[in-house]
Amino acid sequence: MTKRIVVISDVQMPYEDRKALKAVINFVGEYQPDEVVQIGDLMDYPQPSRWSKGTAAEYEGSVFADSDYGKRHFLEPLRAVYDGPVGVVEGNHDLRPRTYLSKYAPALAESGAFNLETLLDFDAFGVTKLPDWYEFAKGWVITHGHLGKIRLSPVAGNTALNAAKKMGASLIMGHTHRLGTLHHTLGYNGEVKQTLTGVEVGHLMNQKLASYLDTATANWQAGFAIVHRDGNYVHAETIPIEHRRFTVEGAVFTI
């Protein structure tokens, strides 16, 4: 029986595209997949972090307020429409508070108070923290993309494909904020021995709230992915969000 997994990445709360995120959550409620996986940077956690070190933001902080925001605007709405398995892979922005505490207050870091699963109360919402490299089928791995010394490419899908070639396994990743799928086939004597697939699942961030872009428009694509798994057969479909709408299996969802 085919298993359907909705894959979401780089929401960057509280800098998310609120209407797009709401539409995707409503879609999950209608689609009722077998699993929802958020593959990193669910949160942005801008302060305190190494980027705010030495500024007023380091002392003002917003970790707990941002965490409450994430629970109210992602986990609570998601659980209101979907009671199936939900997993989260930690991204580089998600771990900012824990990294900060480990570096500047290591004695406090032992408490685990700034761990993502604690800040967002995964237990209360029935959420599983997934491993950094989540092998969900033979030869297929989900990761955020900030680990493993993966080199970034400006071509959508190419970062994931190059990482797949390096690892020898097909890869689904976020981190780049790009949306694309590329393939690479290996073999000899006319026989296919292996086809590697690299998938980048886009983002759900509001670019206008990314102050570091300085009013520029980044080479990012909004969207998410649906993964169909039948045993070890996997088909990953990227779902672009364009002109405030997206299409799944012929149905159009408006934002």
Which pLDDT does position 190 carry in this prediction?
94
pLDDT value of residue 15: 96
Output the pTM of the full model. Answer: 0.92
Domain boundaries, the chain: 3-254
Residue 51: predicted pLDDT: 56
Classify domain 3-254 at the CATH superfamily level.
Metallo-dependent phosphatases (3.60.21.10)
Give the span between the Cα atoms of 200 and 206, in whole angstroms.
Answer: 18
Q: Consecutive sets of 10 residues in the chain, 255 residues long: mean pLDDT of each? A: 95 97 98 98 81 56 90 98 98 89 70 88 98 96 96 97 97 98 96 96 94 86 98 96 96 95
